[in-house]
Amino acid sequence: MRKAPTVPTHPSQDVPASPADEIQRETPGVPSHPSQDVPSSPAEESGSRPGPGPVRPKKFEREYNETPTRVAVSYKTAEKKAEQAGSETPTPATETVDIISDTPRRSRREGAKSVKPKKEKKSHVKAFVISFLVFLALLSAGGYFGYQYVLDSLLPIDANSKKYVTVQIPDGSNVQEIGTTLEKAGLVKHGLIFSFYAKYKNYTDLKAGYYNLQKSMSTEDLLKELQKGGTDEPQEPVLATLTIPEGYTIDQIAQAVGQLQGDFKEPLTAEAFLAKVQDENFISQEVAKYPSLLESLPTKESGARYRLEGYLFPATYSIKESTTVESLIDEMLAATDKNLSPYYSTIKSKNLTVNELLTIASLVEKEGAKTEDRKLIAGVFYNRLNRDMPLQSNIAILYAQGKLGQNISLAEDVAIDTNIDSPYNVYKNVGLMPGPVDSPSLDAIESSINQTKSDNLYFVADVTDGKVYYANNQEDHDRNVAEHVNSKLNQTN
pLDDT of 29-55, one tens digit each? 444 444 444 444 444 444 444 555 555
**Is the per-residue pLDDT at 393 higher than 70?**
yes
Q: Which residues pair with 168 in a beta bridge?
A: 210
How far apart CA 310 and CA 249 sit, in angstroms, is 7
End residue of a domain, out of 202, 235, 268? 235
- Residue 345, pLDDT score: 97
- Assess whether 375 and 397 both reside in one domain: yes
**Is the per-residue pLDDT at 76 higher than 60?**
no
End residue of a domain, out of 177, 212, 235? 235
Q: Which of 56-60, 323-327, 358-362 has the lowest mean pLDDT?
A: 56-60
Q: Is residue 55 part of a domain?
A: no
Q: In the Cβ-directed half-sphere of 109, how many Cα atoms lie within 13 Å?
A: 5
- Assess whether 413 and 376 both reside in one domain: yes
- Assess whether 212 and 244 both reside in one domain: no
Residue with more model confidence, 204 or 198: 198
Kindly report, residue by residue over 139-161, the tens digit of the pLDDT: 666 666 666 777 788 889 898 88
- CA distances for 246 relative to 399, 440, 444, angstroms: 16, 6, 9
- Assess whether 472 and 382 both reside in one domain: yes
**Is the per-residue pLDDT at 293 higher than 80?**
yes
- Assess whether 276 and 376 both reside in one domain: no
- Assess whether 375 and 482 both reside in one domain: yes
- Residue 68, pLDDT score: 55
- Residue 451, pLDDT score: 98
Number of separate helices (H) and strands (E) present in the chain: 21, 8
Residue with more model confidence, 347 or 114: 347
17 three-class SS: coil
Phi-psi label, residue 349: left if phi above 0, alpha if psi -120 to 50, beta otherwise:
alpha
How far apart CA 259 and CA 247 sit, in angstroms, is 19
How far apart CA 341 and CA 103 sit, in angstroms, is 126
Q: Is residue 114 part of a domain?
A: no
Which residues 6+ apart lie within 8 Å of 1 measured at CB? 37, 39
Task: Please state, for a pLDDT cut of 90, what percent of the chain lies above it.
Answer: 57
Q: Is residue 104 part of a domain?
A: no
- CA distances for 267 relative to 151, 326, 486, angstroms: 38, 12, 48
- Assess whether 472 and 383 both reside in one domain: yes
- CA distances for 74 relative to 69, 91, 107, angstroms: 16, 8, 10
Mean pLDDT, residues 388-398 taken together:
96
- Residue 114, pLDDT score: 54
Mean pLDDT, residues 396-416 taken together:
88
Q: Is residue 222 part of a domain?
A: yes
User: pTM for the complete prediction?
Assistant: 0.65
How far apart CA 336 and CA 339 sit, in angstroms, is 5
- Residue 263, pLDDT score: 82
- Assess whether 384 and 418 both reside in one domain: yes
CATH number, domain with residue 180: 3.30.1490.480
- Residue 85, pLDDT score: 47
Angle at 162 between CA 227 and CA 189, to 5 degrees: 60
Which residues 6+ apart lie within 8 Å of 173 measured at CB? 181, 206, 208
Kindly report, residue by residue over 474-486, the tens digit of the pLDDT: 999 999 999 988 8
Question: Is residue 418 within 8 Å of 396, Cβ to Cβ?
Answer: no
Q: Is residue 255 part of a domain?
A: yes
Contacts 24+ apart (CB under 8 A), 419-423: 422/303, 422/397, 423/302, 423/303, 423/304
Domain that holds residue 457: 369-492
- CA distances for 457 relative to 146, 352, 378, 383, 477, angstroms: 77, 20, 11, 6, 9
Question: Is residue 59 within 8 Å of 51, Cβ to Cβ?
Answer: no
Number of separate domains in the chain: 3
Q: Is residue 404 part of a domain?
A: yes
End residue of a domain, out of 342, 360, 390? 342
- Residue 142, pLDDT score: 62
Residue with more model confidence, 373 or 464: 373
How far apart CA 152 and CA 2 sit, in angstroms, is 108
How far apart CA 303 and CA 422 sit, in angstroms, is 8
**Is the per-residue pLDDT at 179 higher than 90?**
yes
Residue with more model confidence, 221 or 74: 221
Mean pLDDT, residues 351-355 taken together:
97
Backbone φ and ψ for 292, nearest 5 degrees, come out as: -65, -35
Q: Is residue 395 part of a domain?
A: yes
Mean pLDDT, residues 7-22 taken together:
47
- Residue 157, pLDDT score: 87
- Residue 10, pLDDT score: 45
- Assess whether 227 and 243 both reside in one domain: no
- Assess whether 472 and 374 both reside in one domain: yes
Instruction: Kindly indicate the confidence band of residue 100, based on its pLDDT and cuts at 50, 70 and 90.
Output: very low
Q: Is residue 463 part of a domain?
A: yes
**Is the per-residue pLDDT at 70 higher than 70?**
no
**Is the per-residue pLDDT at 434 higher than 80?**
yes
- Assess whether 193 and 269 both reside in one domain: no
CA-wise closest residue to 332 among 357, 312, 350? 312
- Assess whether 337 and 415 both reside in one domain: no
- Residue 357, pLDDT score: 98
Question: Which amino acid does the sequence have at 447?
Answer: S
